[in-house]
């Protein structure tokens, strides 16, 4: 059977095909996503906007005409649709001058952007050392979750972006702590989905910069039906819940507004995980360094009589050897 549309990134496979066949092309396109066969990368490109959308239908048609398979362009366009829905525009009703200028300014930054990512996971899916980390965050206009696969092999850490998910906040309005809880909920669902797809049996972590959300999850206190129902679903996920400050939370980038969202989409999708880890070549050295830093923090807090909420350093002993087995 002749397969003229066959594509592969394997040179060995391509060498067995007819040289005159179209199957030896350098790239393939599906749903607007370009697969570069030479570099084995997936590329999403946004088109140039010749005529700025003047209606809600035109705006959504432009922002959804390509398949954003990682969900990284979505945060850049979330706030305006919510604003348009609040003003109750009909689908074909022209924007007023202010909203037309706002849409034009947003899409001017949005057009002709390019997002390239590896087709395959750079992190090895080893059940013994691979971990799934999900980061969540929220703001007044949206909440967001991003999932990574992390692995440790050959004395170095590797991580791969798996997926991201974002949602607009309800139009009726909701408090920030509850939005952070909603972010944790979609993060928990994303984690369970990724875990099932990868058949992952290793450790899983959900990170949030909201101490209120982590307190709700950790305690059995009854708040109200809205909070309790979502907590019940989150707690069913056998994962570890951790705190991360906003400066090191990659999901925090998605909740920023304006041009920074596009920087997140195109350049900073992996920020927060590599961080300072690439400067350490062995896991044992990283653990020992971390424990020594926590010991210093604990000594300073004791000497200055500063009392803060429970943190990681409270579990660290001030004296004694630092071993990987212990920490």
Whole-structure pTM value: 0.70
pLDDT tens track for 59-103: 888 877 777 778 777 777 777 787 888 888 899 999 988 888 888
pLDDT tens track for 298-322: 666 665 554 555 455 455 565 566 5
DSSP-derived 3-state class of residue 33: strand
Q: Provide the domain limits for residue 41.
A: 11-116
Secondary structure of 172-227 in the HEC alphabet? CCCCHHHHHHHHHHHHHHHHHHHHHHHCCCCCEEEEECCHHHHHHHHCCCCCCHHH
In terms of domains, do 67 and 93 share one?
yes
Per-residue confidence at 29, pLDDT binned at 50, 70, 90?
confident
Per-residue confidence at 122, pLDDT binned at 50, 70, 90?
low
In terms of domains, do 90 and 147 share one?
no
Closest Cα partner for 324 from 159, 152, 131?
152
In terms of domains, do 148 and 259 share one?
yes
φ and ψ of 291, to 5 deg = -65, -40
Q: Please check whether residue 71 lies inside any domain of the structure.
A: yes
Residues 6+ apart with CB under 8 A from 231: 181, 216, 217, 223
The predicted structure's pLDDT at residue 221: 74
What's the average model confidence in pLDDT over 206-235?
Answer: 89
Q: Which of 65, 98, 116 is the last residue of a domain?
A: 116
Q: Which of 70, 87, 116 is the last residue of a domain?
A: 116
The 8-class DSSP code of residue 294 comes to: H
In terms of domains, do 173 and 207 share one?
yes
In terms of domains, do 143 and 244 share one?
yes
Q: Please check whether residue 2 lies inside any domain of the structure.
A: no
Structure-model confidence comparison of residues 249 and 206, the more confident one: 206
Number of domains in the chain: 3
Q: Please check whether residue 152 lies inside any domain of the structure.
A: yes
Instruction: State the virtual CA torsion across 197, 135, 146, 203 in degrees, nearest 10.
Output: -20
The predicted structure's pLDDT at residue 126: 61
Q: In what order do the strands lie in the sheet with 33-36?
A: 27-30, 33-36, 41-45, 114-118
DSSP-derived 3-state class of residue 268: coil
Tokens of 28: 């393939």
């Amino acid at each position: 059977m002749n397969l003229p549309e066959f594509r592969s990134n394997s040179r060995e496979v391509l060498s067995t095909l007819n040289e005159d066949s179209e199957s030896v092309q350098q790239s393939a396109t599906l749903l607007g996503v370009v697969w570069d066969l030479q570099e084995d990368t997936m590329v999403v490109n946004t088109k140039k906007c010749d005529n700025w959308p003047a209606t809600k239908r035109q705006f959504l048609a432009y922002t959804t005409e390509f398949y954003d398979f990682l969900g990284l362009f979505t945060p850049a366009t979330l706030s305006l649709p919510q604003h348009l829905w609040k003003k109750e525009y009909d689908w074909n009703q022209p924007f007023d001058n202010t909203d037309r200028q706002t849409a034009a300014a947003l899409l001017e930054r949005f057009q002709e952007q390019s997002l390239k990512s590896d087709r395959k996971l750079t992190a090895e899916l080893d059940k013994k050392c691979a971990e799934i980390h999900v980061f969540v965050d929220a703001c007044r206009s949206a909440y967001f979750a991003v999932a990574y696969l992390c692995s440790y092999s050959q004395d170095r850490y590797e991580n791969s972006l798996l997926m991201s998910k974002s949602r607009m906040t309800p139009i009726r309005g909701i408090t920030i702590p509850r939005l952070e809880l909603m972010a944790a909920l979609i993060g928990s669902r994303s984690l369970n989905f990724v875990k099932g797809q990868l058949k992952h049996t290793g450790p899983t972590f959900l990170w949030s910069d909201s101490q209120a959300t982590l307190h709700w999850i950790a305690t059995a206190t009854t708040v109200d039906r809205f909070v309790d129902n979502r907590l019940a679903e989150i707690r069913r996920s056998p994962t570890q819940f951790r705190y991360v400050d906003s400066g090191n939370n990659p999901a925090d980038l998605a909740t920023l507004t304006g041009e920074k969202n596009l920087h997140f989409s195109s350049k900073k999708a992996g920020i927060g995980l590599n961080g300072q880890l690439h400067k350490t070549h062995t896991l044992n050295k990283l653990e020992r360094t971390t424990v020594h830093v926590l010991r210093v923090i604990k000594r300073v807090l004791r000497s200055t009589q500063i009392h803060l909420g429970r943190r990681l350093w409270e579990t660290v002993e001030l004296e004694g050897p630092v071993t990987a087995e212990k920490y």
